[in-house]
Amino acid sequence: MKAKNNKKDNDWSWLWFIGVSIGALIIWSRTIQIGTYISKNCLPEGHGLSLGEIGDMYGSVNAIFSGLAFAGIIITILLQRKELKSQREELEDTRKEFEITRITNLIFKQLDRIDSTVSKLSFSHKGGHAITGIFSLQDINQEIKNSFPVDTKTFQLKDNEPPFIPINNHRLKIIELLKTVVISKQIIDNLISTTEIGEVEEGKLNSIFIQNLENEIIDLARYCDFIYGIYIEADFMGNPNVRIQAEVRQLKDYSSAIINFIK
């Protein structure tokens, strides 16, 4: 669009210049006739112009042509400057589009990485058989809803009952999943920070990542953030095991990070 507008402006500039030049050329070609007409019809009798004086009028016309030549140079410089500016803007737009495409490709690459992690998940069901992939997350989220004394819509404890954490047996697998999500988001943010695509485009790219995250991952992050927050506030329910405490803190930190960037 910018290129079309600039071309239109350039065309009008040159048309104006060509029109003036043609007018000057007509005047130059008719100098003798104009001088003769003025001498015979516009001056008092006996004060007419000699042929030499009429010839001198060419000098004035030549001055006009010199001015037009200089004006042509100025117009050419201005048009070249405008064209260079237009080219810089087009290059900037092209660079921006390239950066957006590069980041978008990275986003889907990181989403594939997360999906790969999800596909490798395998949780043992109460009935003895293992559930894998996205179904394992659906199962663990349902187990939380059924077992944990929290209203999963308002995230408020029911009747102040002590929290039961049904995902304790799967802590390491869930830590690995949540960690993968957080690291993927950090990789994307680091790449975005090196570009100058603008806040609007940054928001759109972040939305692409968040909207393509599995809802089961987001739900699990919400549960872990709330559940393990209570667990930590309750001083780990008196559990003195340092390793378990460290794993619980990891779950809380990773889940909190996910909650923060999906808000």
Contact 163, 231 (CB under 8 A): yes
Highest-scoring range by mean pLDDT, 9-18, 126-135, 204-213: 204-213
pTM listed for this prediction? 0.66
Residue carrying the six token digits 């660079």: 95
Reported as a single tens digit per residue, the pLDDT across 52-92 is 555 555 555 566 666 666 666 777 777 788 888 888 888 88
Q: What b/e string do you get for 55-74 counting C-beta neighbours within 10 Å, with b at 16 or more?
A: eebeeebeebeeebeeeeee
Q: Which tens digit of pLDDT belongs to each residue from 215-254?
A: 999 999 988 888 788 777 777 656 667 887 888 889 899 9
Rounded Cα–Cα distance for residues 145 and 126 (Å) = 15
Mean pLDDT of the chain: 75
**What is the share, in percent, of the chain residues with pLDDT greater than 90?**
27
Q: CA-to-CA distance for 125 and 143, rounded, in angstroms?
A: 10
Report which of residues 131 and 44 the model is more confident about. Answer: 131
Distance CA 181, CA 36 (A): 92
C-alpha distances in angstroms, 229 versus 26, 158, 255, 258, 262? Answer: 90, 16, 10, 14, 18
The more confidently predicted of residues 2 and 124 is 124
> What tens digit of pLDDT does each residue of 41-52 get?
554 454 444 545
